[in-house]
Structure 1
Amino acid sequence: MTDHPLPFRDPQLSFSRRADDLLGRLTLDERIAMLHQFAPAVERLGVGPFRTGQEALHGVAWMGPATVFPQAVGLGATWNDDLVRRIGEAVGDEVRTKRAQDDRVGLNVWAPTVNLLRHPLWGRGEEGYSEDPALTSAIAVAYTRGLRGDDPRYWRTAPVLKHWLAHNNETDRDTASSSVRPRVLHEYDLRAFRDAVRAGAVAGVMPAYNLVNGRPNHVSPLLEQQLRSWTDQPLVVCSDAGAPSNLVDSEHYFDTHEEATAASLKAGVDNFTDHGTDSTVMTGRIRDALAKGLIDESDIDTAVRRLLSLRFALGEFDPELDPYARVDALDTEEHRALALEAAEQAVVLLKNDGLLPLEPLPGRTVAVVGLLGDACMLDWYSGTLMHRSTPLDGIRERYGPENVLFTEGVDRVRLKSSDGWLQVPAADGAADAEARGAEGALDPALLAGRTDLPPLTCGEEATDLALVDWGDGVLTLRTDEGPYLSVADDGYVRASADEPGGWVVQETFRLEEVEGHDGGHRLLHMGTGGYVSVAADGAKVAVSGEKISRDDATVFALETVEHGADAVARAAAAADTVIVVAGNDPHINGRETEDRTTLALPAQQDRLWRAAHAANPRTVLVLTSAYPYAVTDAAEALPALLWTAHGGQAAGTALAGVIAGDVSPAGRLPQTWYASDDDLPGLFDYDIIGSRQTYLYFDGTPLFPFGHGLGYAAFGYSDLRAEVDGDRLRMSLTVTNDGSVAADEVIQLYVRAAVPGQPDSPVEPGTVGGRRLGRLLPAATFPSDLPRLTLAAHRRTHLAPGVAERIEFDVAVEELGHWSVAHSRWTVEPGTYEILAGASSADIRLTASVAVDGEASGPRPVVARGLDAADYDWQRGTVIVDRARTEGDAVAPASADEAGRLVYRLCDFGEGAAGLTLFVSGEGCVEVSGGGFGTAIQFPDTGGLYDYRAIEVEQEIRGVVRELCIDLSGNVRLARIEVLHTEESA
């Protein structure tokens, strides 16, 4: 007998059985309603409302005060899985705590972001962990395990990985297609998601806005073919906000929203985030799709069953048994200590000529200068700070306030129109105090929206404004007292914001020179795209929602009261040592919706470190940023450089501890720092192999390599051993702290193929079918296509002076492999592999070799398998596109004005073929050559890009063709190549 009249209430039953029982009790309308992000309650069954989605990237976001940990890229820089797991536990506990206080907080957390940091100009680089899939996977597994919790039955929170798949550009992010060849797909982009899913700590994924190979991620067959093949757990796929509508509105991939919604549901999307809290639009589309026969009730039930399984796992129906139901852990002493530990471990010492550590000696003066010297920056996915520590705060605390000088280094300017000086009227003190509240800070919701203050005017008295150029001519302006100039919904310009922020930043401007006005400038407001005009009722950028035109804009004369570089030079000359703090504001010039345009440090900040160094050679540059910079001159001229991502609430204390030597830095770069923009491929080039991206393939000399980072202790490496034990690769080495201080070291193990005479290839020359291949490689992968080296394992360890530790690693042998395009499978070629141990990808201390047995994959078996067009070895001027809307890839010229080429190496035609059959669509020309023959075929329009025609090329082909080349021109798509059999081969 059971005490629970309804089986779904019975905790003795499995979640699967309970979900099935509850599903069977729901009406069709109730089931459809559950497919929206904001699912309503089912009161007749006592089932409460449920919301998918709670941001928790590096702390609880958007829900008020919470512990703020370093940005995700900073967590990646710690290279510390254990630390990141503990942070995940803390964040999960704070989510639970805030859920108990506010039912708007959801337990289905949308974190972490595991998109790889392929391109350093990607605006959302701050949200990822690393450019390397192994490091990203390790950190993601750690964070999701912490968020999920250790209970075998109930989940602390339910993490959803973002953003599936191959998403690295904000420019045209909902219409751009990432062309991803199969090797990059399987070796790189999928790998970042796979390990966390296999670890069992992930509840689902969120598809990205972009398309991959011409098909939107929200209808990707890879959701079922790959993602759900990695686990037996019922994963939930939550759409990104507004993405279901994008399928029709911006991408035009479907003609109707009913078709798009049906296709998403059938592809595996379970939950629709669209139209905010208004669920009626999406549920209406689902009903219409059902009525039109585009879906059936089983499609709805499949998605609802997954959502119910997630809710059962979160303990919603068993509050008395849920071990996390009564967690109360917000801003605890442990969480504050953990935030400090994380900020310390994220600091990377890029260069040190002996200036650091800087001991706080009696009488030693330190000048802290720079635009971020007294800043504790947040980003779009931060919580509200309960504690705040800037570099200036930390240095003053550690060195004594009497020994610390400070100047921000802003340019102080005045703006004058024909009606007088631009000025900020005095605010009503009582009203301002009321708006700010007891804590003295504005509610974040009012940062860009205050209308209770008077707008700027022009008059006889000038207001000095602090001008900061964040790069690309994008400026912020603020008063001496601190408020930034901002624009509210009514269009008036006020000094009203404590900091730049908001989905659309309303605190950024651009000065545009006006021809014919000696030194005159218009002031363009970036948030609205309108110009500033000053009238009798005040400065504004809009009237009744309309922009001020260029011709109607006020022309201002710009007067510089003081150059920031002059103030920095004075402070530097008066101090023993200078610490220049530079970097970015995460809301400006690089964030969600906005990619960066350059690796260069903004010119204004570049001038500051140069001014400091000219006045005082003992100058340290601290880069506090979400991204790498190309600071080649600074790296050459200055004695010390450090980098840290925005470090959360304890950033300043952590930085001061590292500079003073209380903590030996051991952060490591999670991505390559390039020397200049010239080293970068195009933002939309996702072929890391062909364009030689990331440390895996980059052929140049980076400014600072992947994995780089210095410390205050020297470590010795010895006795590296490696052996293959079945399907495991076991490695070990001894690391010794040869320094005089206790410190962390990050041991990095890399692997690469190594065969004498062919240092980058794991396969040896041989014969196939009695035909000698000589120096040709009997595999689809040529040496230039293999990574230079690949991270296999890492470990961060703490050692006292003189102490040695034996470190052991255990890695699956399959990690030595690659995706074989010749056979469409993961392949570990037999041969010799080199194990490299060191302190970075460019600082290898020890090497060892292991031999791996197996069967070489051999050349492409074209007769038996044919060739999928996208399975090329090399290409020029082509892109991968969708073969059909539902599945499959094809290849097309990247430009209709220029031919593209595909190369398929080592194609084995056996005893002979009578020719080839090409499956093409569209209209254009296909030229086939190789093995001593060549032919071109011009064909008319097949009727549509998804209407394929079989075109035969009669040409006898025998043996192994070294390179089969196919040139495509026009509006043509090539899907597949098959063999025309001779009588003998048939």
Structure 2
Amino acid sequence: MFDRTGRLIAERTRLVDDLVAMMSIEELLGQLVIYDLSKENSKNSLSDSLVAALERGEVGTLWLDRKVAGDPRPIIAAASDVAVGRSRLGLPLLTACSLEGGHWTAFPSSLAAAASWDPETIARMDRIATIEATADGANWAFGPSITARGARELAAEEPTLAARIVAARIRGIQGDRLIRPDTMLASLECRMARNSVHGEDTAAIDDFLPAYLAAARDGRVASVTFEKKEEGQEFPIDPLGVNWDFGAIVLSKWSEIVRRALGDAFDGERSHTFPVAAVAEAARDGQVPLIEIEDAARRVLGAKFDLGLFRDPSLYLRRERSGSAGLPDIHREVARDIARKSVVLLKNNDAILPLDTTVDRSILLLGPLAEDKHFALGGNARSVAATSLHEGLLKQGCFVRQLRGLGQGAADEEDREGNLSRADRMAIGLACDAAGRASRIVIAIAADADDPASLRREKQLVLAVAKTNPKVVLVVLNDGRADLGWAAPFVASIVFAGRLGVASGEALAEILCGTFNPSGKLPVALTTFDLRDEREKVLFPLGHGLAYTAFTYSDVSLELAQDRVIASFALRNTGTMAGTETAQLYLRPCNPDGEARPLRLKCFARVALEPGEMRKMTFDLAAGEFGRYRADGRLALDPGRYEIAIGTSSQRTISREIELPADLAQAMLRFAGSRSSERGALASEKPESISRLTG
């Protein structure tokens, strides 16, 4: 029987057991300490306090801050030399960092990338971030993240989309063999949605489990953490429970150990850099069971074994660090590719887009983000600046006149009634005057509801300009659920994107000018508050996204097979431009006696089609699509009538109904059980596209 590195489990278990038997409580707790290297004043020498902790074996992991310039390997090597050469047991160190948004190369944020609906390109993005991070000496990546309500905050609204993306990200980080020095341990962060208290609630389990199982069971993720936003919240599962323990490091258990030991002195912000002596004393007094500390340390030691650190503690410190001299071309190209695929065209009245650079000689560019080079980076990766939208349009050969459209002063210069400052009024007046002479107006804004003062100013600018000239293309760069109800009726086109990373301006300009046909789809529905009905309504549904061509669906049919239902349809590009469509399948049980359940995404596929090309498509629907998860993680499947809808978004579909017989439901469950056993024994395959990047 083999673990994920291909080594015999017996060898791993024997080494870890022998070490745990020899370790003191302080040394066991030391494996749970993550020391932040940004605390060190020198990049080449260690502080006396860190040296002393390393010599006592009271540090297990170093934390690497990506935003700190320079090569971090000398200080990592110095710490490793002390830990291995001067501590009693000579245990190697892990080096952890966050990969959200990239490492050297700034990639799109999690929510922005989810709009691509392209798991394999997302996996390539994380593969490159991993290659860059391991060249800095890191071997443990924190990310990706999901929430207990279907990953709505950080990845996608629907569990199916979230599961596919999470599995791809784990695969991109961990590769197929952890022992390679360009792969890392991946850590899945599980978070509770705000105002959510549900425990073993059926809907919560159905929302949460697909993404969690894709990472923990199928992806064999190396570590997980469970973060509650509010007191009293309960996750649908216990990661150390008998049905859910896949052997991963459980970081939230570390915090629980320290919290129980320190009581009121516990500092949640510093839970991974805790006073080892105080926690050890509490453990000796029986406040924390020793078996829990041993189990937590055992998992860390096992992960170090998986990485090959017991064989070579300096394995991750010898790779060539090519990124220090600038981003490799392939890294920037992948950043541009995922950024382009993550842009969503929400509205395009009268085909105002794409811009015609040969005819549109009077394009006006407005808005506070038109020249911005830093918003797109999100403050995470080490990239100094992104390409601005203005620069991107100039590269496309556009004749652009650029005005800010708002005063340079801050939003707090408004008066108490929220009226605009004199500088803003003058700037908007100039913008409206220029808009009257423009063939097209592009306005780039953030529409950030968390910054109401700035949002008010942006609204005034957009509405004033649109009143002067309705040929407005609104570019919204927002990493959340922007309410665009105030703008949608008054502008001709809306382009929506999140933080797109270092290639933001290039990607947006290629979309606006038609060099790249938009293919992004909303991973979350965008809603607006209806003042008349006093409730939220959907403005743009889940899966919505237009292109510069048209796609039609036809010949939808459903067929019962031996252990599945086969959904077939024809997809045709009826436009004049090659494009990529994301075909989506939604499903729900028919409930004639009660309230209709919402349609849930179950399958999707990206399909590239030339003009006039037609493709016959099929989706196989098995227990995972028809069933629901029980509290013990097993699938339950009810026979009966189901509605299946196929189309371009959750609200533009062709629906059919089918009766699922009891014997077919049982056959589906039996097949799902056998497949689950296979997945438990074998690691996920690595796509060829990722293999090429790892070399």
Establish whether residue 20 from structure 1 lines up as the match of residue 13 from structure 2: no
Establish whether residue 56 from structure 1 lines up as the match of residue 104 from structure 2: no
Q: CA deviation at 1:237?
A: 1.3
For the 8 Å contact 1:357–1:660, the answer to whether it is kept is: yes
In the aligned structure 1, how far is the partner of 2:433 from the partner of 2:177?
Answer: 59
Q: CA deviation at 1:572?
A: 1.5
Report the equivalent of 2:611.
801
For the 8 Å contact 1:53–1:110, the answer to whether it is kept is: yes
Alignment of 1:820-831 (within 5 A): 826-831=635-640
CA offsets, 1:132-173, max 9 Å, x none?
Answer: 111111111111110111227558111111134xx233xxxx
Q: CA deviation at 1:613?
A: 1.6
For the 8 Å contact 2:96–2:142, the answer to whether it is kept is: yes
Establish whether residue 658 from structure 1 lines up as the match of residue 514 from structure 2: no
Greater C-alpha radius of gyration: 1
- The structure 2 residue matched to 1:224, chosen from 240, 250, 267, is 240
Establish whether residue 163 from structure 1 lines up as the match of residue 156 from structure 2: no
Report the equivalent of 1:580.
443
- The structure 1 residue matched to 2:570, chosen from 715, 726, 734, is 734
Matched position secondary structure for 1:637: coil
Establish whether residue 299 from structure 1 lines up as the match of residue 315 from structure 2: no
In the aligned structure 2, how far is the partner of 1:55 from the partner of 1:203?
Answer: 14
Establish whether residue 394 from structure 1 lines up as the match of residue 392 from structure 2: yes
Alignment of 1:332-371 (within 5 A): 332-353=328-349, 354-362=351-359, 364-371=361-368
Q: CA deviation at 1:663?
A: 1.0
CA 1:153 to 1:847, structure 2 compared with 1: closer, same or farther past 3 Å?
farther
Alignment of 1:49-198 (within 5 A): 50-51=93-94, 53-60=96-103, 66-99=104-137, 106-115=138-147, 125=153, 128-151=154-177, 156-164=183-191, 167-169=192-194, 178-179=197-198, 182-198=201-217
Alignment of 1:249-398 (within 5 A): 257=262, 275=270, 278-279=273-274, 281=275, 283-319=276-312, 326=319, 328=321, 330=323, 331-353=327-349, 354-362=351-359, 364-376=361-373, 377-378=375-376, 382-386=380-384, 388-398=386-396
In the aligned structure 2, how far is the partner of 1:727 from the partner of 1:231?
Answer: 29
Q: CA deviation at 1:511?
A: 6.2
For the 8 Å contact 1:723–1:850, the answer to whether it is kept is: no
CA offsets, 1:715-734, max 9 Å, x none?
Answer: 12233344454554443433
Q: Which runs of 5+ in 1 are unaligned?
A: 1-9, 61-65, 100-105, 170-175, 248-253, 262-271, 412-465, 470-474, 476-509, 522-556, 591-595, 682-698, 759-774, 776-782, 858-986
In the aligned structure 2, how far is the partner of 1:676 from the partner of 1:196?
Answer: 35
Q: Which amino acid aligns with 1:813?
A: A
In the aligned structure 1, how far is the partner of 2:298 from the partner of 2:633?
Answer: 33
CA 1:131 to 1:243, structure 2 compared with 1: closer, same or farther past 3 Å?
farther
CA offsets, 1:394-430, max 9 Å, x none?
Answer: 1122134xx211111222xxxxxxxxxxxxxxxxxxx
In the aligned structure 1, how far is the partner of 2:624 from the partner of 2:28?
Answer: 42
CA offsets, 1:90-145, max 9 Å, x none?
Answer: 1111111122xxxxxx422110111267798xxxx4xx111111111111111111
Report the equivalent of 1:407.
403
Q: CA deviation at 1:580?
A: 0.8
CA 1:67 to 1:824, structure 2 compared with 1: closer, same or farther past 3 Å?
closer
- The structure 2 residue matched to 1:47, chosen from 90, 103, 107, is 90
RCO comparison, higher one (Cα < 8 Å, 6+): 2
Q: CA deviation at 1:645?
A: 0.7
The root-mean-square deviation of aligned C-alpha atoms, in Å, is 3.8
Q: CA deviation at 1:321?
A: 12
For the 8 Å contact 2:483–2:528, the answer to whether it is kept is: yes
In the aligned structure 2, how far is the partner of 1:151 from the partner of 1:289?
Answer: 39
Looking at secondary structure, tell me which structure has more strand per residue: 1
Q: Which amino acid aligns with 1:754?
A: C
Establish whether residue 622 from structure 1 lines up as the match of residue 475 from structure 2: yes
CA 1:828 to 1:565, structure 2 compared with 1: closer, same or farther past 3 Å?
same
Q: Which amino acid aligns with 1:575?
A: A
In the aligned structure 2, how far is the partner of 1:181 from the partner of 1:27?
Answer: 38
Looking at secondary structure, tell me which structure has more helix per residue: 2
CA offsets, 1:339-367, max 9 Å, x none?
Answer: 10111001111011111111211561211
In the aligned structure 1, how far is the partner of 2:315 from the partner of 2:292?
Answer: 31
In the aligned structure 2, how far is the partner of 1:805 from the partner of 1:107?
Answer: 43
CA offsets, 1:726-779, max 9 Å, x none?
Answer: 554443433222221111100101111136xx1xxxxxxxxxxxxxxxx6xxxx
CA 1:324 to 1:273, structure 2 compared with 1: closer, same or farther past 3 Å?
farther
Q: CA deviation at 1:181?
A: 6.1
CA offsets, 1:452-505, max 9 Å, x none?
Answer: xxxxxxxxxxxxxx2243xxxxx4xxxxxxxxxxxxxxxxxxxxxxxxxxxxxx
Q: Which amino acid aligns with 2:101?
A: H
Alignment of 1:447-458 (within 5 A): none
Matched position secondary structure for 2:567: strand
In the aligned structure 2, how far is the partner of 1:191 from the partner of 1:712?
Answer: 34
For structure 1, which segment, 40-49 or 333-342, has the greater mean C-alpha deviation from structure 2 after superposition?
Answer: 40-49
In the aligned structure 2, how far is the partner of 1:748 from the partner of 1:346?
Answer: 17
CA 1:117 to 1:349, structure 2 compared with 1: closer, same or farther past 3 Å?
farther
For the 8 Å contact 1:258–1:286, the answer to whether it is kept is: no
For the 8 Å contact 1:235–1:306, the answer to whether it is kept is: yes
Matched position secondary structure for 2:210: helix
For the 8 Å contact 1:366–1:575, the answer to whether it is kept is: yes
Q: Which amino acid aligns with 2:483?
A: A
Matched position secondary structure for 2:541: coil
In the aligned structure 2, how far is the partner of 1:367 from the partner of 1:826?
Answer: 56
CA 1:511 to 1:661, structure 2 compared with 1: closer, same or farther past 3 Å?
closer
Alignment of 1:536-615 (within 5 A): 560=423, 562-584=425-447, 590=450, 602-615=455-468
Matched position secondary structure for 1:578: strand
CA 1:679 to 1:337, structure 2 compared with 1: closer, same or farther past 3 Å?
farther
CA offsets, 1:598-642, max 9 Å, x none?
Answer: 8x9811111111122222221111111112322224212222111
In the aligned structure 2, how far is the partner of 1:856 from the partner of 1:715?
Answer: 34
Matched position secondary structure for 1:399: coil
Alignment of 1:378-527 (within 5 A): 378=376, 382-386=380-384, 388-400=386-398, 403-411=399-407, 466-469=408-411, 475=412, 513=416
In the aligned structure 1, how far is the partner of 2:116 from the partner of 2:18?
Answer: 45
Establish whether residue 674 from structure 1 lines up as the match of residue 535 from structure 2: no
Q: Which amino acid aligns with 1:275?
A: R
Q: Which runs of 5+ in 2 are unaligned?
A: 1-6, 36-58, 61-82, 667-695
In the aligned structure 1, how far is the partner of 2:432 from the partner of 2:163?
Answer: 45
Number of residue pairs the alignment of both structures matches: 608
Q: CA deviation at 1:561?
A: 7.7
CA 1:728 to 1:17, structure 2 compared with 1: closer, same or farther past 3 Å?
farther
Q: CA deviation at 1:68?
A: 0.5
Q: Which amino acid aligns with 1:196?
A: A
Relative to the length of structure 1, the TM-score reads 0.56
CA 1:45 to 1:805, structure 2 compared with 1: closer, same or farther past 3 Å?
farther
For structure 1, which segment, 374-383 or 135-144, has the greater mean C-alpha deviation from structure 2 after superposition?
Answer: 374-383
Matched position secondary structure for 2:489: helix
Matched position secondary structure for 2:620: strand
In the aligned structure 1, how far is the partner of 2:309 from the partner of 2:531?
Answer: 54
